[in-house]
Structure 1
Amino acid sequence: MKPLYPATRDRARCGVLASFIAVASIVIGGHSSVTAAQISIDGDVAVVTGMLSAQDAQSLEAPNVKKIIFLHSLGGTMEAVHAYVEVIKRRQLDTEVKGKCFSACALSFLAGKQRLVDKSTQNAISFHVARVLDHGVLRPSKNNEAVLKMIDELSGGKMREPARSKIAASWGAGQGVVFVIGPGLFGQRSNTFYCDGSQGTDGSKCALLFDADPYDLGVLTRE
């Protein structure tokens, strides 16, 4: 898997990640009043857009649904993660990302039998452990170990270093490991970044992680 824009490391950072990092502070915590995502069903595909909620799961039970496309979802609640993962695993649904899939969306996506990205789009899949907004201040959640265990299980034990420990440490605002996959000059290309929260909205300052291919780490499956 060749990196995106391999000519220079700076170009890969600036040209791809800057538009994604501004939303890397989504909270997944215990209980929340998050509005349900918008779900449309076309044939055997359910398209999910927006923040994930546990009440979404009922729509995913439609017997004709075989695949879920996550279209620009920036997160959701831990209840939503459990609901999505349960339905996706039980029904052996395939999952696909088109655009941004962060936080609760990334964990839900990881439950798919086949995990793909839209080949015509720049896609970003961002992982971090649970965050709780407590009186306006972010703090780690008691769910963090459960999130890591879930990532380990759903990735088939492939989520390894350097990405895993970075994900484990990513509970603060703007922190996370971001897998960026999209079309390149000679086929699909990818880069993996770690943002430690100090970058603000400037994704060009996030660190490029080497030896962190999304296929090798169990994030995506090969067709």
Structure 2
Amino acid sequence: MSMVRSYETLILFGGVEPDDAERFRKHLEKGVVRQVVLSESPGGDLRAGYAIAELIAANKINTAVQGNCFSSCAIIFMAGVKRQMLAGKALSRTRLGFHGPHKKQTHEVAVAAIPHLREWLLAATQGKFPEEILNRAMYIDRAGDMMLFYYPGQSRFGDIRFCTEGSIRCEGVEGYDIVSVGILTTAELLDSDSLAPAASGNKASQ
């Protein structure tokens, strides 16, 4: 992932690579990080995603998202103490995508790894993630199957949608939203202006 520091915010975007956890750790060593913003990531290496998530949780960092954040990116997001979406024009295009783990090279669903991820997500949402939705997202047939979550009212096709790989239509899931299932900890949107306080000794860097 590309990692850019802006004051006490670390912005992550792009695919998750195996060495990203160590690079993230080094950014933490440079100074306090209070907020991690994730943007436009298709996911990637699952172990690195877990490792970055552990660092975020251990350092009690908040997370926010703008744009697409799928698979291991969504795992990283879920480690935040406070989890929000960014306000602005991109809100309607912002979505978090969850699905069962799969092997990178063959795209074969890694059935044995599903229970751990399933329990991890239940713990991250304090048990709020409805099991029927969670199971649908985890026990997939193909690597590209994914459960997508939008901010309430932003998608005319529904707040929660299950998309099957290769299909042009996604199935809407009624009765829940991204806040009620515990993915966002608050419906309050994060103002991007709050990420760069005027009085700070930390300069933006890469």
TM-score category, normalised to shorter length: 0.7 to 0.9
The answer to whether the aligner puts 1:208 opposite 2:175 as a matched pair is: no
Alignment of 1:54-133 (within 5 A): 54-61=21-28, 62-120=30-88, 121=90, 122-133=93-104
C-alpha displacement of 1:180:
1.8
Could you tell me how far apart the structure 2 residues matched to 1:133 and 1:69 are?
25
* CA distance 1:108–1:40, change in 2 (3 Å): same
Q: What residue is the counterpart of 1:149 in the other structure?
A: 119
Q: Is the 8 A contact 1:102 1:126 kept in 2?
A: yes
Per the alignment, in what secondary structure is the counterpart of residue 151 of structure 2? strand
Could you tell me how far apart the structure 1 residues matched to 2:97 and 2:70 are?
5
Q: Could you give the per-residue CA deviations for residues 92-131 of structure 1, whole angstroms, max 9, x where no partner exists? A: 1000001010000001101101100111112010001110
For structure 2, the 5+ residue unaligned runs are 189-206
Q: What residue is the counterpart of 1:138 in the other structure?
A: 108
C-alpha displacement of 1:181:
2.3
C-alpha displacement of 1:138:
2.1
| Runs of 4 or more above 3 Å deviation | none
From 151, 176, 179, the equivalent of 2:146 is 176
Q: What residue is the counterpart of 2:2 in the other structure?
A: 38
Q: What residue is the counterpart of 1:217 in the other structure?
A: 181
TM-score (norm 2): 0.79
Which is strand-richer, 1 or 2?
A: 1
Q: Could you give the per-residue CA deviations for residues 61-81 of structure 1, whole angstroms, max 9, x where no partner exists? A: 143210000011110212212
* CA distance 1:46–1:137, change in 2 (3 Å): closer
Q: Which amino acid counterpart does residue 68 of structure 2 have in structure 1?
A: K
C-alpha displacement of 1:183:
7.5
Q: Is the 8 A contact 2:153 2:159 kept in 1?
A: no
The answer to whether the aligner puts 1:166 opposite 2:130 as a matched pair is: no
C-alpha displacement of 1:161:
4.1
Q: How many pairs does the alignment contain?
A: 178
Q: Is the 8 A contact 2:50 2:75 kept in 1?
A: no
Could you tell me how far apart the structure 2 residues matched to 1:161 and 1:66 are?
31
Q: Which amino acid counterpart does residue 216 of structure 1 have in structure 2?
A: S
Could you tell me how far apart the structure 2 residues matched to 1:164 and 1:39 are?
30
Identity, in percent, stands at 21
For structure 1, the 5+ residue unaligned runs are 1-36, 185-189
